[in-house]
Structure 1
Amino acid sequence: MFQRLTFVATFLAAISCHTLLTPASFLSAAETRPNIVFAFADDWGKYASAYAELEPGGISDLVSTPHFDRVASEGVLFRNAFVNAPSCTPCRSSLLSGQFFWRTGRGAILQGARWDLAIPSYPLLLRDAGYHIGHTYKVWSPGSPANAPYGAAKYAYNRRGSRFNGFSQRVSAAQDIAAGKQALLEEVRGNFQDFLTARTAGQPFCYWFGPTNCHRKWIAGSGKKLWGIDPDGLQGKLPEFLPDVPVVREDVADYLGEVQAFDAGLGVLLAELERIGELDNTLVVVSGDHGIPGFPRGKCNLYDFGTAVPLAIRWPKKIPAGRVLEDFVCLPDLAPT
């Protein structure tokens, strides 16, 4: 399963009308190998403005995700992407290994997780294939050692800080909201630049961007205060199993504010890739590890509300732009492909 060392083989079969290239052709020379940037948000369910255009009348109507939408419009948007375990550690153990979470043993439990180093993980396989690898914020943890499937702290790039993980908490406390936002986005930029600077010239890279700001607890009222998301705009748009009352609408609006913050961080990564001339040679994959936390049928529940996630992929050299796929896909398939 792990002889294919890029994300693309399975997806190209589904989304391209061209002949499927063999793995050997992807890896025949370093200059032909794509970079990989995986932006993976904690607790981000299937909410993005790109989905609102296709499925109006729901929660996504109120969120604005221009950078996710760009990846989708310049690549492919998946309408039926799911995780096999709607909880962070088991989901991530599957994603990193390409195996069912129960096969990863203690690597899949939420508390006291321990990674079995005998289990292959795609980042370390890419490293062995000559890639410069690195991660910022969360990959697999909680677990011991933290983020072991991605080489643990050896490949962490957090020198500029991890304040972005508490986005609404920090910006809400700032005297100047715009300046508070910009400071956190500069943290994202600096961590990514540190990663890029550390690579050998011409070396392909694989980077994981994993902020946890969409994970509770966000600041009550921050969706409206920081992003102008009016909770009353959600009236009539919540799933029928949620009470359509002010306190619930405000909570969802605050969550959507964190989604927009993640999207802003994604925009920083795309801008940096453009600045160094690597965007079109980079496979950009954007998704989340499960649905909204703290609501019935959401996180840790095997309903669509808990297992459906956003997924968009951009790689203009191989993936035609503007595709929307109805095919059902499961995130653990990313690792072996």
Structure 2
Amino acid sequence: MPVNNVLLMIADDWSPIAGCYGDPIAHTPHIDKLARQSTVFDRAFCTTPSCAASRANILTGQYSHTHGQYGHCQGIHGFRTLPSMKTLPEVLRSTPVTSALAGKTHFAPDESYPFDFRRELMKPELAKFSNQHLSDAIEDCLDAIGSKQFFLLTASGYPHRIGGDFDPNFATQEFSGIDKSYNPETIPIPEYLPDTPAVRDDLCEYYRYITRFDDFVGKTLSALEQKDRLRDTLVILLSDHGMPFPGAKASSFEAGHNCPLIISHPDIKGGSHTQSLVNWCDILPTILEALRVPLEQWPENMPGRSLLPILEDPDAKEWLKPVAYSHSFHEIVNYFPYRALRGPRYKYIRNLAYQSPLPLPTDLFDSPAYHAILSTGGSAERTQERLLHHDREGFYDLEEDPFEKRNLINDPELQGLIESYRQQLTKLRRETNDPWLEVDFQEGDLPQRHNNMDLESEKRLIR
């Protein structure tokens, strides 16, 4: 049966923690069931580990330095997707496909994302973290869609930290039969965090929220199945970025960028894992191809490519080329721009404001995990100093050094490889019109400003 529709489910701050990703204790039965029918991506990466910028990336197919929503969009932060960007719901308006959204948005302005039907649950906090309210919103969307071809975006608030003014008693009532009891003594501790009772308790809460997200996945798939709309629907399950802990979310470390990606195709047998290197620039082309949108209606100059061929051949070698990260802001006060190229083994990073320490998002700075880092100095794999202070350039061997402790940027035996990564990243930044190339120019890395460059004839960077 050919694909007729696309369901995109987005988690909030979810790292690849689930049974299908090898976690020994995560209770994720609905995610694991979907994974058995899907292709599971082990090396999928958000381009920026920050909620708003990442979601705009998914729906525009462009890096945040191109789409213009450099950081959070709400309140005083105020970043906006540029008017020149063509978004997925805008593209679908000229097709027979009905677009609908249920749940969290965190992209702006509304007019740049003209969904045909929208049930936004960003506010109040009670609705944002209620699976029942979100299920009701999904039902409304499916009723509005009827029998038409659709793209449906459903976005949960989990497993983000709750915080704020949310009523914990409501959560206790709604999830009394869902919450899994996790034991602090057996909870897995990421090696970049100190092993303290406070960190263990913090992680137990995070695992409970992953189980609540799993419940959302189950309810969403059940709603489509009851409407008989699941059997011809491509299902994409992913997260905006990694877990809300220091050294993950809003940082260049792998735990911030490596995310779950699970894709189920009704025509292709699932149950496989792929080591293909992909990033969230690839999601929009995948959706457009699945919905059979004519190429002439696609946004121009998208840097990504459709992932549908991987579902046919999970071991294709052509998908082992490096992928890029591009981050500038989280909240308005969390300015720490970097660009990175991540290959099968090595990662090159260019930090564009390395003179300052990494500013943590508010929810991380206030977290029990960061208080533990302050009191202990960090862990053996990542000290507080390493967490907060970054070199101008970094080059890391992720096989030998997965926590990026040893910067190899000056290793004489790797200079040829480092230069190759450096030039590949700069070429991508030029092709995607990165405004932060002005920093490279002022620091003497570029012979002339980007807006005067001839991208075809420039032969070499000045080092």
Secondary structure in 1 matching 2:15: coil
The match for 2:83 is 117
Secondary structure in 2 matching 1:287: strand
- Kept in 1: contact 2:18–2:31 (CA 8 A): yes
The match for 2:137 is 191
Q: In the alignment, is residue 137 of structure 1 matched against residue 103 of structure 2? A: yes
Q: In the alignment, is residue 80 of structure 1 matched against residue 46 of structure 2? A: no
The match for 1:36 is 6
- Kept in 1: contact 2:50–2:71 (CA 8 A): no
The match for 2:331 is none
Secondary structure in 2 matching 1:212: coil
Alignment of 1:167-246 (within 5 A): 184-199=130-145, 201-217=146-162, 226-234=179-187, 237-246=188-197
Unaligned runs of 5+ in 1: 1-30, 53-59, 167-183
Residues 1:249 and 1:163: Cα distance change in structure 2 (over 3 Å):
same
User: How many residues were matched structurally?
Assistant: 273
Q: In the alignment, is residue 307 of structure 1 matched against residue 273 of structure 2? A: no
Instruction: Kindly state the Cα deviation for residue 161 of structure 1 after the two structures are TM-superposed.
Output: 7.9
Structure 1 CA distance for aligned equivalents of residues 65 and 11 of structure 2: 22
Alignment of 1:44-83 (within 5 A): 44-52=14-22, 60-83=23-46
- Over residues 66-105 of structure 1, what are the superposed CA-to-partner deviations in whole Å (9 max), with x where a residue is unaligned? 1111221101111111111111122122111111210112
Instruction: Kindly state the Cα deviation for residue 33 of structure 1 after the two structures are TM-superposed.
Output: 4.9
- Kept in 2: contact 1:122–1:336 (CA 8 A): no
- Over residues 216-255 of structure 1, what are the superposed CA-to-partner deviations in whole Å (9 max), with x where a residue is unaligned? 2356xx8999321112111xx3122211111101101101
Instruction: Kindly state the Cα deviation for residue 32 of structure 1 after the two structures are TM-superposed.
Output: 5.4
Amino acid corresponding to residue 336 of structure 1 in structure 2: P
Residues 1:114 and 1:185: Cα distance change in structure 2 (over 3 Å):
closer
Q: In the alignment, is residue 332 of structure 1 matched against residue 281 of structure 2? A: yes
Amino acid corresponding to residue 50 of structure 1 in structure 2: C
- Kept in 1: contact 2:3–2:234 (CA 8 A): no
Amino acid corresponding to residue 65 of structure 2 in structure 1: W
Residues 1:260 and 1:164: Cα distance change in structure 2 (over 3 Å):
farther
Secondary structure in 2 matching 1:320: coil
Unaligned runs of 5+ in 2: 287-463
- Kept in 1: contact 2:104–2:128 (CA 8 A): no
Structure 1 CA distance for aligned equivalents of residues 113 and 33 of structure 2: 28
Structure 2 CA distance for aligned equivalents of residues 34 and 73 of structure 1: 21
Amino acid corresponding to residue 305 of structure 1 in structure 2: A
- Over residues 295-315 of structure 1, what are the superposed CA-to-partner deviations in whole Å (9 max), with x where a residue is unaligned? 221100111111111110112
Q: Which has the higher contact order (CA 8 A, sep 6+)?
A: 1
- Kept in 1: contact 2:14–2:241 (CA 8 A): yes
Structure 2 CA distance for aligned equivalents of residues 252 and 269 of structure 1: 26
The match for 2:213 is 262
- Kept in 1: contact 2:83–2:112 (CA 8 A): yes
Q: In the alignment, is residue 95 of structure 1 matched against residue 58 of structure 2? A: yes
Structure richer in helix, relative to its length: 1
Amino acid corresponding to residue 261 of structure 1 in structure 2: R
- Kept in 1: contact 2:179–2:211 (CA 8 A): no
Secondary structure in 1 matching 2:186: helix
Q: RMSD of aligned C-alpha atoms?
A: 2.7
Amino acid corresponding to residue 113 of structure 1 in structure 2: F
- Kept in 2: contact 1:115–1:148 (CA 8 A): no
Instruction: Kindly state the Cα deviation for residue 187 of structure 1 after the two structures are TM-superposed.
Output: 2.3
Structure 2 CA distance for aligned equivalents of residues 74 and 240 of structure 1: 31
The match for 1:180 is none
The match for 2:311 is none
Structure 2 CA distance for aligned equivalents of residues 332 and 67 of structure 1: 26
Secondary structure in 2 matching 1:279: coil
Q: Tell me the TM-score normalised to structure 1 length.
A: 0.74
The match for 2:119 is 157
Instruction: Kindly state the Cα deviation for residue 114 of structure 1 after the two structures are TM-superposed.
Output: 1.7
Instruction: Kindly state the Cα deviation for residue 115 of structure 1 after the two structures are TM-superposed.
Output: 2.3
Q: Tell me the TM-score normalised to structure 2 length.
A: 0.55
The match for 2:418 is none
Structure 2 CA distance for aligned equivalents of residues 135 and 163 of structure 1: 18
Residues 1:69 and 1:283: Cα distance change in structure 2 (over 3 Å):
same
- Kept in 1: contact 2:15–2:260 (CA 8 A): yes
Q: Which has the larger radius of gyration?
A: 2
Identity of aligned residues (%): 28
- Over residues 16-43 of structure 1, what are the superposed CA-to-partner deviations in whole Å (9 max), with x where a residue is unaligned? xxxxxxxxxxxxxxx9552111110111
- Kept in 1: contact 2:18–2:28 (CA 8 A): yes
Secondary structure in 2 matching 1:335: helix
